[in-house]
Chains A and B, each alone.
Chain A
Amino acid sequence: MNPGSKALAEFVAEATEILDALARDLLVLDERRGQEADPDLVNGIFRAAHSLKGLSGLFGQERISRLAHGTEDLLDRLRLGKLLLDGAVLDALIEALDAFQALLGEAARGTETEVLSGRVDAMAARLASLGAPTEVSEDDPLDRLELEAQVRSVFTEYEEHRLRENVRRGVALWRVRAAFDLSDFDKGLAELNARLKPMGEVISTLPSAQPGGSHGIAFDLIFGGQVDSAALEAGLEGTPAELSPLGVRPAVDVVTPALVRAAQPAVTVRQGAGKSSAAGAGSEKAPPASRPRADTGAGSELGPRESGRDTRGGGKATGAPGTAASSDAADTTAATSRKRREDSSDAPTRDAPDVSAEPRRADAESSSPTKRSGGRKRSSRTPAATPSEEQQPLLPHLSSDGAAQGAVDWPTSVSEGVAHLDVSDPGAPASPGAPEPHESIVPTEPSPAPLVAYLQGAAKASPKGLSVAPSPPAAGPGSAPAPSVGSPSAQTSDTSLRSLTQTVRVDIGRLDGLINMVGELLLIKANLQRLAESARQDGAVALSKLFGQELARETRGLERKLEALQEGLLEARMVPVGQVFDKLARLVRRITREAGKEIEFVISGGEVELDKLIVEELSDPLMHLIRNAIDHGVESPDARLAAGKSRRAVVSLRAEQKGNHVVIEVSDDGAGIDEVRVREVAITRGLITFAQAQEMTRRELLNLIFQPGFSTARSVSELSGRGVGLDVVKNNLGNLSGIIDVWSERGKGTSFHLTLPVTLAIIRALLVGVSGRTYAVPLNSVLEIISVQPRDIRTVERREVLDVRGQTLPFVRLARMFALPDRPVSRYFVVVVGLAQERLGIAVDELHGQQDIVTKPLGGRLQSIRGISGATDLGNRRTVLVLDVAALLEEGMATERRRA
């Protein structure tokens, strides 16, 4: 039974979800490098790998399954504490994720390349070999947990690990028993879980096998509590839950007797606070079988019951978490144990008040391990980036003098060319013996290297930069041989960030809303039907005023509902732009490492929503811009220091909603673009004349980098989303009715602004008439409409302009633009359109009002017509062309320039 294409699609969709979750979690781990890893996070990643293994195994995706198996094993060792989560492990995991994505891409296309298979083999071997095992404790903490074997037997390995971890960390464990009615137990359990979650971790939910009456069912929740028993009881008030503590005997072989004595009373406190007699506390010498009775002698003269009462009476029921209590907390936290040693040195026997104070402190510390190590966060990443950077002659690439020199030398000397390639791809030298020279010949086009390198960015870096991807500098030369060096594997390592699936997850509430609307529409339909029926039966008589009113009312209702439905459907297509940001953040990490830079990647506005289609189409242009910023925009740490900047560069990605548009900014605080060089290059390549250059503003000059001939983006092409020039980025955005704008200051940085419509599907348009023809102008880019006399039009530097409220506005006549006969008119309507900072007045003859339109792309030869983004059907069987405002803004300038 071969899984058909539907099954494959389902597989890809689910695997994509798993990988997305995996990527998110890995990113968090990566951000907290150097800190103690959050066990929940590691477990989450483990589960993802496990699910992926099962899923891909079932669907015969052997390679994914194999790699997932290796990843799962590694994560298992991590979870069990057999392996430390160091930089190399994290790098390996992140690379495995990249490999998964490439594999899934191939699976979706139904292909299987040998390069990738080789990479899987190498990756699996690497995962298996990883790890300086930490000291493995002989002692299984679970053996110290007083839990019936019967209960233990239904735990999965995973749940056992969680339990073990909780015991090891000295968390107070509880059994929470609750009975519910069989018909709605899940609601009751959900409520119970909601109450418990803020207080700790629900490790397992066990349905009790004893039938709880004919219609009832009881559950045991195994719970690791982070709060004391009083708080726990208060938190569960009103639920049918009954608490009983699970005893844990202290570990015997890792703590000193003093510690045990110090910890001991806390155990009894927990015991007293709970309700059960099963709580355990043992002395360090107590045999595993010892029950509470035995441990009273270990250091405290209080029996469990008494000490419990005592603490309560003193109002200091610090208790349970005390857990803390257990001596394990001491050995996990050096600070704690030191404190304990001090505290306990003079007091082999302790009295109750001290006892109750001690565990509280211990608990406070043991519960916040991440905070303590937070200070190391910043610096912890740098070592991974430095090795390659030290080998990099990055400096020349940065000074503009060097840039000019490079421009001259490039074509004449191959060796020089190699040097430059290395510069633009600092990761390369880190892979020893990689066959570079033959590749360096590839970009034969004479190109002014460094400056243009920034601009064409990935175009040049792609065939090369990718080649080093499989061998991470962090792993050190030789430690992890790249499975296959060369561009084919390169492709796979940097595949497009586009989703493999076309699905949108829709909140069920939104869907319900839509369904309600449809219900209301049906109601209106019924009313209209009734009216139609009565009109048919009563004939001419029916056309009374009353009838007309009723019909009008229903029509209005219909209109409103349809609008709401349309809005609701558009909303359903919206996804947060953060979906792409998350993927990019991961990519940034890798590029940074390859480039030997130190970068702080700042993201904001991920919650801004855009149409799913736009978000998907955005990923590649954004990836390109960010890669440019890291590879070429940002200087090496040393160069930055020399320039008086901080070592660490900042690359930021921000989204912000502005009315009907979303503005996405990609900026860096790097060396900036030298507009003088841009001008020279543009003139050399014949993009502008010298005279034109004289007239151009700085902003216009900078924006020349988007001109098709500017960067040598010939190598573009087939690579999936990689290696495009900025003109391609611009075109991609143009297809989304968006525009891109660049601003840069030398020495301070570069910033790209992408302005995009919120949605593509249905837009409101202004219909205008020119020479008897009708066109539609997307209303979201219309700023205002003014009426002007022909005499108001001036010519400045051979461009037609208008003066509007003291500002000069570029102006085009649509009729001339489309070579339509000019009609003599006494006045023009000028539609002022704008995107970002660009403004343009478009002269038209008539205004026909507004209408919702669905733009359909033009096919075939018509596609290349500038200024037209598509066609739309107006409903009265008339098809009109939709103006492409972004292109017109550009074309307006360009035509004027050409005419000049």
Chain B
Amino acid sequence: MRVKVLIVEDSKASREYIAAMVEAVEGVEVVVTSSGFEALKLLPRHRFELIITDINMPDINGLELINFVKKNPNYRDVPLFVITTEGREQDRDRGLALGAAEYLVKPFVPGSLEALLRRYLKLP
């Protein structure tokens, strides 16, 4: 039984790139979406073990998504990773304050993402 990870990122190239990294971890199934709205719709339909979200997105931003997830009794235990871009410390800090578990600064080292995934997903 594989665990599901949701990736929310509006840039297609970035999304595919991150998805490829996450999928490379054995035992993980990836669900991707390009928008916060879609993420809101996906949440009740799947059981995600982890969510990775970008901050700047066209409909709702990543912080709003984190806030939504963390305030909602159904999802509040799902760990969230924030992907931020170098130099936007405020977004990162707010993400952490809202309850994000980790942040990844682009460009990030693939190995570090894998290690984090294993830790939070409790994979061997």
Q: Which B residues between 89 and 107 are near A, CB-CB below 8 angstroms?
A: 90-91, 94, 97-98, 106-107
A631 in contact (CB, < 8 A): no
**Complex-state Cα separation, A51 to B36, whole angstroms:** 17
> In the complex, which of the residues A13, A47, A58, A189 contacts B14, with contact meaning CB atoms closer than 8 Å?
A58
B13 and A10 within 8 A (CB): yes
Kindly provide the distance from the CB of A22 to the nearest chain B CB, expressed in whole angstroms. Answer: 15
- Count residues of chain B with CB under 8 A from any CB of chain A: 47
**Complex-state Cα separation, A783 to B78, whole angstroms:** 71
Kindly provide the distance from the CB of B13 to the nearest chain A CB, expressed in whole angstroms. Answer: 4
Chain A contacts to B: CB under 8 angstroms: 1, 3, 7, 10-11, 13-15, 47, 50-51, 53-55, 57-60, 65, 69, 72-73, 153-159, 182-183, 185-186, 189, 204-211, 217
A156 and B63 within 8 A (CB): yes
A157 and B107 within 8 A (CB): no
B44 and A182 within 8 A (CB): yes
B107 and A1 within 8 A (CB): no
Complex contacts, A183 vs chain B, CB 8 Å: 41
B107 and A60 within 8 A (CB): yes
Complex contacts, B67 vs chain A, CB 8 Å: 153-154, 206-207, 209
> In the complex, which of the residues A15, A206, A211 contacts B60, with contact meaning CB atoms closer than 8 Å?
A206
Q: Which B residues between 24 and 83 are near A, CB-CB below 8 angstroms?
A: 24, 36-38, 40-41, 44, 54-56, 59-68, 70-74
**Complex-state Cα separation, A158 to B62, whole angstroms:** 12
A55 and B40 within 8 A (CB): no
**Helix, strand, loop or mixed for chain A's interface?**
helix
> In the complex, which of the residues B17, B24, B41, B61 contacts A58, with contact meaning CB atoms closer than 8 Å?
B17
B40 and A207 within 8 A (CB): yes
Kindly provide the distance from the CB of A894 to the nearest chain B CB, expressed in whole angstroms. Answer: 51
Kindly provide the distance from the CB of B46 to the nearest chain A CB, expressed in whole angstroms. Answer: 14
B17 and A65 within 8 A (CB): no
Q: Which B residues between 5 and 23 are near A, CB-CB below 8 angstroms?
A: 11-14, 16-18, 20-21
A50 and B60 within 8 A (CB): no
**Complex-state Cα separation, A806 to B23, whole angstroms:** 76
Complex contacts, B36 vs chain A, CB 8 Å: 207
A1-B20 in contact given A14-B11, A14-B13, A209-B71 (Cβ < 8 Å) = yes
> In the complex, which of the residues B11, B24, B68, B94 contacts A209, with contact meaning CB atoms closer than 8 Å?
B68
Kindly provide the distance from the CB of B105 to the nearest chain A CB, expressed in whole angstroms. Answer: 8
**Complex-state Cα separation, A39 to B121, whole angstroms:** 43
**Helix, strand, loop or mixed for chain B's interface?**
helix
Complex contacts, B97 vs chain A, CB 8 Å: 153
A54-B85 in contact given A182-B41, A182-B44, A207-B40 (Cβ < 8 Å) = yes
A217 and B40 within 8 A (CB): yes
20 new A-B contacts, CB < 8 A, other than A51-B56, A208-B68, A209-B70, are A1-B24, A14-B11, A50-B56, A51-B11, A54-B14, A65-B86, A153-B94, A154-B64, A154-B94, A156-B56, A182-B41, A185-B41, A186-B38, A186-B41, A189-B59, A205-B59, A207-B40, A209-B71, A211-B74, A217-B40
Q: What are 19 A-B interface contacts by the 8 Å CB criterion?
A: A10-B12, A10-B17, A54-B56, A57-B86, A59-B17, A72-B87, A73-B87, A153-B97, A153-B98, A157-B88, A158-B56, A159-B61, A186-B37, A206-B67, A207-B36, A207-B60, A207-B65, A211-B73, A217-B40
A154 and B88 within 8 A (CB): no
Complex contacts, B59 vs chain A, CB 8 Å: 186, 189, 205
> In the complex, which of the residues B17, B61, B91 contacts A7, with contact meaning CB atoms closer than 8 Å?
B17
Complex contacts, B98 vs chain A, CB 8 Å: 153-154
> In the complex, which of the residues B20, B60, B108 contacts A205, with contact meaning CB atoms closer than 8 Å?
B60
User: In the complex, what residue of chain B is closest to A209 when comparing beta carbons?
Assistant: B71
Complex contacts, A53 vs chain B, CB 8 Å: 85-87
User: In the complex, what residue of chain A is closest to B10 when comparing beta carbons?
Assistant: A51
**Residue of A55, A65, A158, A208 with highest tally of chain B CB at under 10 A:** A55
User: In the complex, what residue of chain A is closest to B62 when comparing beta carbons?
Assistant: A156
User: In the complex, what residue of chain A is closest to B73 when comparing beta carbons?
Assistant: A211
Complex contacts, B106 vs chain A, CB 8 Å: 54, 57-58
A207 and B68 within 8 A (CB): yes
Complex contacts, A51 vs chain B, CB 8 Å: 11, 56
A204 and B61 within 8 A (CB): yes
**Complex-state Cα separation, A208 to B72, whole angstroms:** 10
User: In the complex, what residue of chain A is closest to B67 when comparing beta carbons?
Assistant: A154
Kindly provide the distance from the CB of B97 to the nearest chain A CB, expressed in whole angstroms. Answer: 7
Kindly provide the distance from the CB of A800 to the nearest chain B CB, expressed in whole angstroms. Answer: 60
**Complex-state Cα separation, A120 to B73, whole angstroms:** 49
User: In the complex, what residue of chain B is closest to A157 when comparing beta carbons?
Assistant: B90
**Complex-state Cα separation, A60 to B61, whole angstroms:** 25
